[in-house]
Structure 1
Amino acid sequence: MVQIEQIFPSLTWRIRHEAMYADQPFDIVKLEDDFDGIHFGLYADHKLTGVVSLFSHGDVYQFRKLAILPNAQKLGYGSQLIEYILDFCKIQKATKLWCNARVNAKEFYFKFGFHETNKIFQKDGNDFVVMERGF
């Protein structure tokens, strides 16, 4: 059984750390504006397994830190979280949703109607591209 619900920002930190930055200090996963965002948790069999954070600037939304626990990856949970925030953004009358995607993950985002922009950058040894889609 899978359930997605809005969660408190600090509940995202453990999942982000385990999934994305396990070899880094815990505090690296805390975003400066975490308490300004909307955070969603995916519960698989009542266990918090995946998270995503959403930030709005008017009718433009950005999602950050999509993270699924390592032992639960490749089970479709990331796709379910993306579908959920796409529906949420439609309800909120968003005009655009964007993210900083790791270049090696951009194929994943194409499935949801995102396209690459020409904004590419490096951070912490990873290559990123800004991807976006309209509504």
Structure 2
Amino acid sequence: MGIHFGVFENDILLCVASVFITDAEARLRKFATLHEHQGRGIGTRMIDHIIESLKQEGVTYFWCDARESAQEFYARFGMQKQGERFFKSGEPYFKMSVELKR
């Protein structure tokens, strides 16, 4: 099942995320904030909201493929690196995940 989230301001989509749930596991597949709106906390509030929504749905494991440059952002939510660095289109990534507790 896929769930899509968005943050709008004056009818402009500023931040979007897609989460795919299988049983008690959820994967963040797409997540982006317009460049000119980054640094305002929009993405942080979005991930906080997603995590709370997942907990209410009974999801216990949340993960994503995170750009190496975004590790600190995801670590704020308790996400930790899993495995080795890998590359997508020449960009370094790590799988990052967190166990969710109700």
Per the normalisation by structure 2, the TM-score is 0.92
Aligned residues: 100
Unaligned stretches of 5+ in structure 1?
A: 1-35
* Partner AA of 1:82 in structure 2: I
Q: Which residue of 1 aligns with 2:66?
A: 101
* Partner AA of 1:128 in structure 2: Y
Judging by fraction of residues, say which structure has more helix: 1
Rg larger in structure: 1
Q: Which residue of 2 aligns with 1:81?
A: 46
2:37 aligned residue (72, 76, 100): 72
Q: Which residue of 1 aligns with 2:15?
A: 50
Percent identical: 34
More deviation, 37-46/60-69? 37-46
Q: Which residue of 1 aligns with 2:98?
A: 133
Moved over 6 A (4+): none
Unaligned stretches of 5+ in structure 2?
A: none
- Distance in 2 (CA, whole Å) between partners of 1:70 and 1:103 is 18
- Distance in 1 (CA, whole Å) between partners of 2:64 and 2:99 is 12
Which structure is richer in relative contact order (CA contacts within 8 A, separation 6 or more)? 2
Encode CA deviations 1:55-112: one digit per residue, 9 max, x unaligned: 0111100012110011111111110110010011100111100000001110011111
Judging by fraction of residues, say which structure has more strand: 2
* Partner AA of 2:60 in structure 1: T
Cα drift, residue 119 of structure 1: 3.9
Per the normalisation by structure 1, the TM-score is 0.70
